[in-house]
Structure 1
Amino acid sequence: MPTDATDTEARHTAKMTRIKAARDRMMEGKTGEKGLVIVHTGAGKGKSSSGFGMIVRAIAHGMPCAVVQFIKGAWDTGERRLLTTHFADLCQFHAMGEGFTWETQDRARDIAAAVAGWEKAKEIIRDPAVRMVLLDEINIALRYEYLDLAEVLAFLREEKPPMTHVVLTGRNAKPELIEFADLVTEMTLVKHPFRAGIKAQAGVEF
């Protein structure tokens, strides 16, 4: 009679064998490649962090990439320091925003900054040599209607090169953008130290 440990191991091996066979069959049909439109949204922390993580991953693969910041352009962030200091040869960095709208308190100025950011983004995206473009906090500019959503979607649909990935971050992504995107992740807020009186800290928030 096999011991309980031997029986458990045998059942585990059989289960993993079935799972692997099913995964292999599934992966046989996943051979296509395309440049993705990726959206990171939601109330939880991690939207920009995830976008920058993808930029670093692209750099590690030797893929030319770019960042266009729409809102937090005035911030001195760790990501900005890292990319401009160590990876400027592979990653363009354009800080186009001047801060959140409650800081500028000037809608016309905010719109002008967002439009300038979008013009720069279009210029970069049109270049097929740039493989990934992060549009950081563009969802906020779209939410406040600093940019025309229909124009943004039309550009991504009609002018984005086939193998270019575009990542759009920020809360409250428009439903039309979510529907259009290939990959959408919503960050859920469970707990945040800000609510306990803890300010944004270097290395965690920026």
Structure 2
Amino acid sequence: MSDETKVGESAPALSEDERHAKKMAKKKAARDRMMATKEGEKGLIIVHTGAGKGKSSSGFGMILRCVAHGMPCAVVQFIKGAWDTGERRLLTTHFGELCQFHAMGEGFTWETQDKARDIAAARAGWEKAKELIRDPSIRMVLLDEINIALRYDYLDEAEVLAFLRDEKPAMTHVVLTGRNAREALIEAADLVTEMTLVKHPFRSGVKGQAGVEF
């Protein structure tokens, strides 16, 4: 006991900076203990769904991470493949050697107004997706808006789930985006994020704009 601290006296109060440092040290120790238990790696099934904006944007963010790490990857677009999007321009123009881009969709159902044509486009997209996923050199495959194709029964849900379970290489990540993801897909996935709609400019009469929507 120091000469300054007598019996029955409390230690000097810590400063705000000292309290913060002590609190963060405890958090770091707890975090380090938790991270020490996480050693495994695996190819993930990732689902981005919900009514809010950002599902495809998040998927393309992951694709760009793969590109930055030099990891071969691929994109299959199921619905809005006919659009001239910024992500499509960027990936095909600058990163075609790392990222294959297949725009298989022909627009939303109210645009084509042809169910048989929509189903045929979805099936073609799925066949291409299976080919890409089976390739063990491709580390991530983004299936953009496939949840919509599943929702409208353009693809067989059981077939898609069985393929992901039985044929996806162990270290391949597959990202599936789109509203209204089926419950069975959510159950089978390793990572699920639901985008919640809080506010959207479309409701105020603002149309989709380059750099924000596409």
Which TM bucket (shorter chain)?
A: over 0.9
Deviation of the 1:14 alpha carbon: 1.1
* Aligned residue in 1 for 2:191: 183
Q: Describe the superposition over 1:159-189 as per-residue Cα deviations: whole angstroms up to 9, x where unpaired.
A: 0000000000000000000000000000000
Aligned to 2:8: none
Counterpart of 2:88? 80
Q: Which residue is equivalent to 2:53?
A: 45
**Structure 1 spans left out of the alignment, 5+ residues:** none
Q: What residue identity is the alignment partner of 1:184?
A: V
1:101 aligns with 2:104: no
Please identify runs of 4+ aligned residues in structure 1 that moved more than 6 A.
Answer: 1-4
User: In the TM superposition, what are the counterparts of 1:49-198 in structure 2 within 5 Å?
Assistant: 49-198=57-206
Opposite residue 46 of structure 1, the aligned amino acid is G
The number of equivalent residue pairs is 205
Q: 3-state DSSP class of the match of 1:199?
A: coil
Alignment of 1:13-52 (within 5 A): 13-52=21-60
Letter in 1 for 2:109: T
- Three-state SS of the structure 2 residue aligned to 1:189 is coil
Note the C-alpha offset of 1:7: 1.7
1:74 aligned counterpart, secondary structure: coil
Q: Percent identity?
A: 81
Give the superposition deviation at 1:135.
0.1
> SS where residue 75 of structure 1 aligns?
coil
What is the TM-score with the length of structure 2 in the denominator? 0.94
- Taking the aligned partners of 1:94 and 1:14, their CA distance within structure 2 comes to 52
Matched residue type, 1:164: T
Could you tell me how far apart the structure 1 residues matched to 2:68 and 2:15 are? 44
Matched letter for residue 135 of structure 1: L
Greater fraction helix: 1
- Secondary structure of the residue aligned to 1:38 is strand
List alignment gaps of at least 5 residues for structure 2. 5-10
Question: Residue 178 of structure 1: SS of its match in structure 2?
Answer: helix
Shift of 1:121: 0.2
Distance (whole Å) between structure 2 residues aligned to residue 82 and residue 23 of structure 1: 37
TM-score (norm 1): 0.97
SS at match of 1:147: coil
What displacement does 1:3 show? 8.8
The CA deviation at 1:9 is 1.5
| Partners of 2:16 and 2:93 in 1: CA distance | 53
Partner SS for 2:15: helix
| Residue 12 (structure 1) shift | 1.1
